[in-house]
Each structure stands twice: as structure tokens, then as C-alpha cells.
């Protein structure tokens, strides 16, 4: 008995990296899978049918059921055709995993509009487009569904050299929350995943920007280690299964053997006025009330000084 027996899934970006491992494991767990991949470079250039074809062949080799799809998820017509492929073949769609992604890293002061648009388009528009057509089915069929969207620590924690990617990935998190609230009444759960695994994508990170020692492992030697993208796929079987009906509107970190539930955004300190603030009044109250939450402020504030003055 597989945990996903009888389920059907669309997985985007499933020709390589993390998406590939999700497709293989979901199929081993009994799901019928549409393996989508444009077969593009990390920067989103070019196209190749082989990555998706090879994953489908691997699935069929162990007796699983899979169909390839070579569409660009950020093209709305191709995203619709992708969802339709699952519906035409199997009559329903239970699980959508939006994993496709590209990078065009640049500091904000050097980033061109093209670099900005390309990354926003694949991640944000791509996630919207597939979800839109899946949600039309979920709303009509009323048999529930599972939406799993890939965000990133680069957005959650603000990687300095990835303003386009950080914006797209935080956009995906907001989008996921919205979908969780909108689709819950149809039995659909929606969760975001911030993964960590060595893939060709992380191979592009320069050594000085790697924040943990595990990131030194390159994708070609990651198999069987903590950085193996196959590790990320395992908790997703749970989230995609019927057992996870209660897990929705949450952001999860899944990296190596560690699963992290992130806290939801909530007010930290509130300064409530009773009328429009006077500017001078706020110059006094603002640092008094919010300053204690900022270690930098406390370190800089000199006894008797009016406000903190950052050095340099």
C-alpha cells in the first residue's frame, strides 16, 4: 500500500533537482504523475524535453504511471494544458506541486528590468497559472486537493544578492496563504516549502555566500548525504496525503533531515495613539516603544542621548 495510492499529481520543474525526487517518490507511493519540465538552464534559457522524459522513463521502469509535459508554467495557455493533461488522462487532480524555478542573481543596484521580470514571471506567474486551473477543478469537483508551493529562505530572510527571487518567493508565500483561505471550503490545503538541498541551482552560489557548511557539497556528490534533494521529497508525501487534511496555510522549512514549522506573521509591539500623532511626540515615543526590540538600537543608545545614532 502506498500513501498516495489512487492520487493524481502535477509536479512542475520535475525533470531535475528537488522536483524530480518528488515525482519519483510520489510515483513510488502510488500516485499517477504528470512530470512537467521545460528543461531550461538555471537562468531560464533554452528548452529540452529530455529531463522530463527521463523521469517518466524511470517511473515507468519501476511500474509507476507518469506522463511527461514540456510546457513553460509561466505561459498561461501551457499551464492550462498541463493541468488538463492530468484531467484528460485520469479524470481528476488531487495534488499540485509548484517546484519550477530559475535564478538571475544580481545586487539591486545592478539588476536590469529583464532580470527582474524573468524571475518574477517563472516563479510568481508560473505558480499562479497552474494553481488557477487546478483550483477551477477543485472548486467544481469538491473532492479536496493539495497545493504545495516552493518558497525560499532567500525570501523569508532576504538574501541580499537576490532581490527578484526574494520578492517572487515571498509573493509565493502570500499567494499560498490566500489560496489556503480561499480554497479551504473545498477541502483544499495549501502550504509553502522553503527547501534546502544541493542541486544545480545551489551549485551557482559562490562559496563566500554559503551560509552553512553543508552547502559546500555540490549536487554531483549529494546523493545519500544530508544535502540529497531526495530528503526534501519525504515530508511532502505526508503533506500531499489525505492524512494531512489539517495542515494548511503554513510555511515549512525542509532541509536535509530537518523539518521546521515557521511562525506566522503577527504583531510584535503596537503603539496605539488616541489622535493624530504630533511629529515631535513620535520622535520621543517611537524609540522608547520600539527601540527595546532592536539590539542595534540598544547598543548604540548612549545614556542621556535623545536617539540612537548609527555608526558609519
Ligand X SMILES: NC(=O)c1ccc[n+]([C@@H]2O[C@H](COP(=O)([O-])OP(=O)(O)OC[C@H]3O[C@@H](n4cnc5c(N)ncnc54)[C@H](O)[C@@H]3O)[C@@H](O)[C@H]2O)c1
Q: Which residues are catalytic?
A: 152, 165, 169
Q: What is the DSSP string of 142-206?
A: -S-EEEEEE--HHHHTT-TT-HHHHHHHHHHHHHHHHHHHHHGGGTEEEEEEEEE--SHHHHTS-
Cβ distance to ligand X smaller for residue 25 or 99? 99
Cβ distance to ligand X smaller for residue 257 or 277? 257
Cβ distance to ligand X smaller for residue 215 or 300? 215
Least distance in Å: CB of 75 to ligand X?
Answer: 8
Residue nearest to ligand X (CB): 17
Cβ distance to ligand X smaller for residue 120 or 141? 120
* Strand partners for 195: 254
Nearby residues of 215 by Cβ (< 8 Å), 6 or more positions away: 198, 202, 205, 227
HSE-CB for 94 with a 13 A CA cutoff: 19
Least distance in Å: CB of 101 to ligand X?
Answer: 3
Q: Is 208 helix (H, G, I), strand (E, B) or coil?
A: helix
- Residues forming the site for ligand X (CB under 6 A): 12-13, 15-19, 36-40, 42, 44, 51, 72-74, 99-102, 122, 126, 150, 152, 195-197, 199-202, 229
Q: How do 145-150 and 32-36 pair as beta strands?
A: unpaired
Dist. CA 231–CA 116, nearest whole Å? 31
Cβ distance to ligand X smaller for residue 99 or 190? 99
HSE-CB for 180 with a 13 A CA cutoff: 19
Least distance in Å: CB of 183 to ligand X?
Answer: 21
Least distance in Å: CB of 230 to ligand X?
Answer: 11
Amino acid at each position: 500500500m502506498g500513501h498516495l495510492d489512487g492520487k493524481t499529481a502535477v509536479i512542475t520543474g520535475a525533470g531535475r533537482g528537488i522536483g524530480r525526487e518528488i515525482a519519483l517518490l510520489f510515483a513510488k507511493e502510488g500516485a499517477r504523475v504528470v512530470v512537467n519540465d521545460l528543461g531550461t538552464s538555471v537562468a531560464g534559457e533554452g528548452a529540452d524535453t529530455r529531463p522530463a522524459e527521463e523521469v517518466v522513463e524511470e517511473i515507468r521502469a519501476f511500474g509507476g504511471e507518469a506522463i511527461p509535459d514540456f510546457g513553460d508554467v509561466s505561459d498561461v495557455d501551457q499551464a492550462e494544458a498541463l493541468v488538463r493533461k492530468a484531467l484528460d488522462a485520469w479524470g481528476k487532480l488531487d495534488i499540485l506541486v509548484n517546484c519550477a524555478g530559475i535564478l538571475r542573481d544580481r545586487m539591486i543596484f545592478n539588476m536590469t528590468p529583464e532580470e527582474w521580470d524573468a524571475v518574477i514571471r517563472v516563479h510568481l506567474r508560473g505558480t499562479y497559472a497552474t494553481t488557477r486551473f487546478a483550483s477551477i477543478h477543485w472548486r467544481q469537483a469538491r473532492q479536496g486537493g493539495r497545493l504545495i508551493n516552493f518558497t525560499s529562505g532567500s525570501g523569508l530572510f532576504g538574501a541580499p544578492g537576490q532581490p527578484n527571487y526574494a520578492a517572487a518567493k515571498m509573493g509565493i508565500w502570500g499567494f499560498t496563504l490566500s489560496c489556503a483561505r480561499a480554497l479551504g471550503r473545498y477541502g483544499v490545503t495549501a502550504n509553502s516549502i522553503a527547501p534546502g538541498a544541493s542541486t544545480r541551482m545551489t551549485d551557482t552560489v559562490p562559496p563566500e555566500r554559503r551560509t552553512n557548511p553543508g552547502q559546500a557539497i555540490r549536487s554531483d556528490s549529494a546523493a545519500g548525504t544530508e544535502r540529497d534533494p531526495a530528503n526534501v521529497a519525504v515530508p511532502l508525501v505526508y503533506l500531499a496525503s489525505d492524512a494531512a487534511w489539517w495542515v494548511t496555510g503554513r510555511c515549512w522549512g525542509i532541509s536535509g533531515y530537518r523539518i521546521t514549522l515557521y511562525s506566522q506573521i503577527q504583531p510584535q509591539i503596537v503603539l496605539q495613539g488616541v489622535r493624530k500623532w504630533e511629529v515631535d511626540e513620535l520622535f520621543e515615543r517611537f524609540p522608547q516603544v520600539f527601540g527595546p526590540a532592536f539590539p542595534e538600537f540598544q547598543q548604540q543608545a548612549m545614556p542621556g542621548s535623545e536617539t540612537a545614532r548609527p555608526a558609519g
